[in-house]
Structure 1
């Protein structure tokens, strides 16, 4: 490591207490090359697992136990690939260092569900889905309530401000926090990072609710679309006084 090191990359391994493990690097040192090889190995393993899964599904005849085992392996592979993708995204110029729970190492549970993007019924459906998803995670009751409410507001916001054909709702859990994210397709044009409304402004009131309930929240650009996410504590009380990270 030298005095010119200025790039921070997210590593696959979790640090102490499941914290993200970061590498400060100039981009071409031994540690960086080792991290590159590990990322390449992980994506290759995920690709082989995906191919094997497709072959098994085509062949049929899998028992429920086999399907459960395969689903667990796919979830683990997806969690690792998400870390690789986020690590590479964060090395692009101008990308913030903060990321939501569902792309960090130490992921204990993960869920992804796609809803119609031009159907107002998607907001209540997404709320029910998130409540059903996080209920077995042993979160405090207020955390479950907050995630459900935040989801409804973020989906409603995406329905109002984009022409997306679909909306993707993602949930994630680590030892310290649970998160929900809503990703649109940005069909109405370039995705716009949402701002908390001021004064008597009526539009975007759902973001005020999100800010009030979340321990932290923010947005991530995903291709032409946008993911707006929020986290709540997995233990203890509500976060309140949230900060916005983009």
Structure 2
């Protein structure tokens, strides 16, 4: 199993940095482009939610690749009033569809408390293939 973990300040600019780090690492590991694209979208949504909806100072991301699954975990430090959940957005709303996208791209996803007892981890498992070497 391959894995990487990294941390960013809980700022909007960190979303692009997280997306780039995930793309670079998955390409280094030989993960197919479809899974790389899906992982970038998922990490973008999860980091954006952690930055916008919690009072975190930093956001952590862990990336693990098994034979058939890319697992993305995004941890926040904050105490948001509600647990992340899919919501139905109106057609004229510009946001609110992120977890629908995560659900559509993932085999499964979920939320759990983080190991410290403060904040939570939102995770998603994405299918992948590897390029032959």
Q: Which band: TM-score by shorter chain?
A: 0.7 to 0.9
Shift of 1:190: 5.2
Structure-1 separation of matches of 2:29 and 2:69: 11
Structure 2 residue 75 is matched with structure 1 residue 183: yes
Query: Which has the bigger relative contact order, CA under 8 A and spacing at least 6?
Result: 2
Find the residue that maps to 1:139 and give its secondary structure: coil
Residue 15 of structure 2: which of 100, 120, 123 is its match?
Answer: 123
Residue of structure 1 in register with 2:125 after alignment: 231
Residue of structure 2 in register with 1:213 after alignment: 105
| 1:115-159 Cα shifts (integer Å, max 9, x gaps) | 001x21000110001101111222221001000111011111111
Residue 87 of structure 2: which of 188, 197, 202 is its match?
Answer: 197
Q: Tell me if structure 2 keeps the 8 A contact 1:123–1:152.
A: yes
Structure-2 separation of matches of 1:133 and 1:155: 17
User: TM-score, length-normalised on structure 2?
Assistant: 0.87
Question: For the pair shown, which has the larger CA radius of gyration, 1 or 2?
Answer: 1
Shift of 1:192: 3.1
**RMSD, matched Cα:** 1.8
Structure-1 separation of matches of 2:88 and 2:59: 27
The 1:140/1:181 distance shift into structure 2, 3 A limit, reads same
The structure that is helix-richer by fraction is 1
Tell me how many residue pairs correspond in the alignment: 126
Residue 27 of structure 2: which of 94, 118, 135 is its match?
Answer: 135
Structure-2 separation of matches of 1:144 and 1:132: 9
The structure that is strand-richer by fraction is 2
Find the residue that maps to 1:150 and give its secondary structure: helix
